[in-house]
Amino acid sequence: PVVGGDFVVVTDSAGRLLTTTVAQGRPVALASVTPTLARSTARHTARGTVQHGRYDGASRLVVLQRNASRLAWETTVVGTRAGEASRLTVYVDAHSGRVLSTREHVMEGTGSSAWAGTVSIPTSGSGTSYSMTNANASTLKCQNASGNVTFTGTDDSWGNGDATNRETGCVDAFYAAEQERQMLSTWLGRSGMDGSGGWVPIRVGLNDVNAYYDGTQVQIGHTQTGGKWIGSIDVVAHEFGHGVDDHTPGGISGAGTQEFVADTFGAATEWYANNGTDRPDYTVGEQVNLVGSGPIRYMYNPSLAGDANCYSSSTPTSEVHSAAGPGNHWFYLLA
């Protein structure tokens, strides 16, 4: 087989030739089609181009036709590159053993989010069948809360920027969760929400002015007016922050500390994402404007929302979100 020497032939419904396109104008020119590099050596080289690599099928001898013709071993390997899932086809020169070319098969989808602009999201699938299942973490999915069905599509383009649309809500939430996954891995050396690569599904469509984590899912509700799904970075990463906390020794933190712990994961994820639309800050919910009065918490000055800046004897008995004030303030000063 010749790789890079494709012909496109267009016919009408009766099979009559309409037009042809030739991708490669240069003739194939090879002195020999007998390799001097062993197949096993080429396979080993190919596997070394990814981390934690394994082979995906057999290798075949091909002519790699670019500016010149080269005899090459074609091998597909599965692993990770820079922490991201990879399924890579690698062409190794069948004489010199050099890597001539690679082709990545794991593609990032594109989403039109409501709160974070146009974003790349690591969905799963190929051809005409895609789903909002994270290619880097298969238990991280985004679903419609009605029926708990994972969003699917015939292309890898998601949402429409309208915050009242559930698929758009999933673009926001899925993007936020992926940024948190990367933040946990890159900054904290942690694999996934549970520390072993595991997550719970996100479900957009909760009929409440709220979002929550319950150990089995993250539910995303809507704004008080306008029915906008509230899957911004700080909200979603807050909920999965509860999930991280839930998978630490001793389980989820006690009442007075659980909300500030979750807020720190929200803020850290926002700073990691460094998104051009949802700029990093130390406020909670500034994008979604949950109840129409801007952020619901101010980590740099909790008193702006009526919460305490510093610890007092009344902190342990405060409402759990209000009790986050001293911890949030501490985190801001530390950060």
122 vs 241, which CB is nearer to Zn ion? 241
Token pair listed for 243 = 């999930």
DSSP assignment string, 73-90: EEEEEEEEETTEEEEEEE
At residue 187, the 3 state secondary structure works out as helix
Q: Is 286 a catalytic residue?
A: no
Quick note: the x/- pattern for Ca ion over 275-294, rule CB under 5 A, is ---x--x-x-----------
93 is a site residue for Ca ion (CB under 5 A): no
Please pick, among 222, 238, 242, 321, the residue that the annotation labels catalytic: 321
User: Is 252 among the residues that bind Zn ion (CB under 5 A)?
Assistant: no
Q: Does 74 bind Ca ion (CB under 5 A)?
A: no
262 binds, among Ca ion, Zn ion, none (CB under 5 to 8 A by kind): Zn ion
Residue 234 near which of Zn ion, Ca ion, none (CB within 5-8 Å, type-dependent): Ca ion
The whole-angstrom separation of Cα 231 and Cα 211 is 9
DSSP characters over 244-291: HHHTSTT-SPPHHHHHHHHHHHHHHHHHHH--SSS---SEESTTT-TT
Residue 131 dihedral angles phi and psi, to the nearest 5°: -140, 160
Choosing from 135, 176, 235, 262, the residue that interacts with Zn ion (CB under 5 A) is 262
Stretch touching Ca ion by CB under 5 A, among 16-24, 55-63, 232-240, 248-256: 232-240
Stretch that binds Ca ion, among 216-224, 244-252, 265-273, 321-329 (CB under 5 A): 265-273
Closest listed residue to residue 109, CA positions, set 87, 139, 129: 129
Task: Tell me if 263 contacts Ca ion by CB under 5 A.
Answer: no
- Window of 145-153, 163-171, 181-189, 258-266 that interacts with Zn ion by CB under 5 A: 258-266
3-state secondary structure of 72: strand
**Catalytic residue of the set 74, 167, 178, 239:** 239
Strands 142-144 and 129-131, by their bridges, are unpaired
Q: What does DSSP assign to residue 35?
A: -
Give how many residues touch Ca ion by CB under 5 A.
5
The DSSP string of 298-325 is: ETT-GGGGT--SS--TTGGGS-TTTTHH
Whichever of 151 and 265 has its CB closer to Zn ion, that residue is: 265
Among Zn ion, Ca ion, none, what does residue 278 contact (CB within 5–8 Å per kind)?
Ca ion
Active site residues: 239, 321
Binding site for Ca ion (CB under 5 A): 234, 270, 278, 281, 283
The site for Zn ion (CB under 5 A) is made up of 259, 262
